[in-house]
């Protein structure tokens, strides 16, 4: 039998022993108070998160990928972060990958036994042709999920950079990875329901890793998402707004320059600020590693 008694994520929260008797406002107050602990838990592990950002940036610069592996809520959070990267940062669909135990169908319905498999994650990593340049980030609130443990072992065998994110100290996945990020937000309001604080903590960390690494490879100018893809009406307007914010031009000029740049916001900004054509702007950006600020110098 698995011993869960030593896991903080499985402990009972003494502040919510009467959860079943609380009024709606009391429940909201109790949960809000506990959620504040999630922010503080992440603050404690910021140095480790910064290292993960450095490693992820290095992988991307070397032609590698960011690959999240996880089961249940943790795996779903990894998949969610992965699918948000292409529209936000204009990266290819396969640059940030989320592997969920049981496959994408497990996003809405758990697949029996998938998270306990010792072979499934290795198979899935082989299926996507895992390479040494990739970084593999294992997610498990408990820190003991076999799917993640064996996935990290396989990644280590290829000399990939490996990171573990768990919500218990001295976790099993932390022992497998080259870098362990182990914030401890404490027992959940609802005992063992790690979709709550533990899920919040993991989402916050994933936000930092993906955003920080995309900053590192030039997907951001100032605090603007300059590689945003104009895939719908809202994003067309956002691209114009970004152009205007970065250059001080009006909307008509933004539209015109974006059209000349074939919709590429980063190129359009560089064209306008350096008074050059599309070809020259692309050359300058290429020499600057895709970073507008560096190209402007």
Helix (H, G, I), strand (E, B) or coil at 290: coil
What's residue 3's pLDDT? 63
Give the max Cα distance, the chain. 69
Q: pLDDT grade, residue 115 (50/70/90)?
A: confident
Higher-scoring residue by pLDDT: 5, 142: 142
Per-residue CA distances from 165 to 67, 171, 187 (Å): 13, 9, 17
Q: How far apart are CA 119 and CA 175, in angstroms?
A: 19
- Active-site residue (options: 26, 34, 62, 84): 84
Q: Is 233 a catalytic residue?
A: no
Number of helices and strands in the chain (H, E): 12, 5
- The pLDDT tens digits for 248-260 are 999 999 999 999 9
Q: What is the DSSP string of 231-248?
A: -SHHHHHHHHHHHHHHH-
- Active-site residue (options: 34, 115, 172, 184): 115
Q: Is 222 a catalytic residue?
A: no
3-state secondary structure 60-71: HHCCCCEEEEEC
- The pLDDT tens digits for 134-161 are 999 999 999 999 999 999 999 999 999 9
What's residue 5's pLDDT? 65
Q: How far apart are CA 40 and CA 43, in angstroms?
A: 5
Q: pTM to 2 decimals?
A: 0.92
Q: Which domains does the chain have, with CATH numbers?
A: 8-216 (3.40.50.10490), 233-296 (1.10.8.1080)
What's residue 242's pLDDT? 97
Mean pLDDT on 173-201: 95
Q: pLDDT grade, residue 106 (50/70/90)?
A: confident
- The pLDDT tens digits for 195-205 are 999 999 999 99
């Amino acid at each position: 039998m698995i011993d869960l008694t030593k896991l903080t994520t499985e402990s009972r929260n003494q502040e919510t022993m009467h959860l079943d008797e609380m009024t709606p406002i009391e429940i909201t107050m109790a949960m809000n108070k506990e959620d504040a602990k999630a922010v503080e838990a992440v603050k404690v592990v910021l140095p480790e998160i910064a290292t993960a950002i450095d490693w992820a940036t290095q992988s991307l610069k070397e032609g590698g990928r960011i690959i999240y592996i996880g089961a249940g809520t943790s795996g779903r959070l990894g998949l969610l972060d992965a699918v948000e990267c292409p529209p936000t940062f204009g990266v290819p669909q396969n640059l940030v990958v989320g592997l969920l135990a049981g496959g994408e169908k497990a996003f809405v319905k758990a697949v029996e036994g998938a998270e306990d498999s010792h072979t499934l994650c290795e198979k899935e990593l082989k299926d996507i042709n895992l390479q040494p340049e990739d970084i593999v980030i294992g997610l498990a609130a408990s820190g003991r999920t076999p799917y993640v443990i064996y996935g990290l072992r396989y990644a280590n065998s290829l000399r990939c950079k490996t990171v573990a994110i768990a919500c218990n100290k001295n976790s099993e996945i932390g022992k497998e990875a080259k870098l362990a990020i182990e914030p401890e937000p404490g027992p959940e309001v609802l005992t063992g329901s790690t979709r709550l604080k533990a899920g919040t903590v993991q989402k916050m960390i994933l936000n930092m890793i993906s955003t920080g690494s995309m900053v590192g490879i030039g997907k951001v100018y100032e605090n603007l998402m300059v590689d945003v893809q104009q895939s719908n009406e809202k994003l067309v307007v956002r691209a114009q707004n970004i152009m205007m914010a970065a250059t001080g031009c009006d909307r008509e000029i933004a539209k015109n320059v974006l059209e000349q740049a074939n919709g590429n916001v980063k190129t359009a900004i560089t064209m306008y600020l350096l008074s050059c054509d599309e070809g020259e702007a692309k050359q300058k950006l290429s020499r600057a590693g895709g970073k507008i600020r560096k190209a402007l110098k």
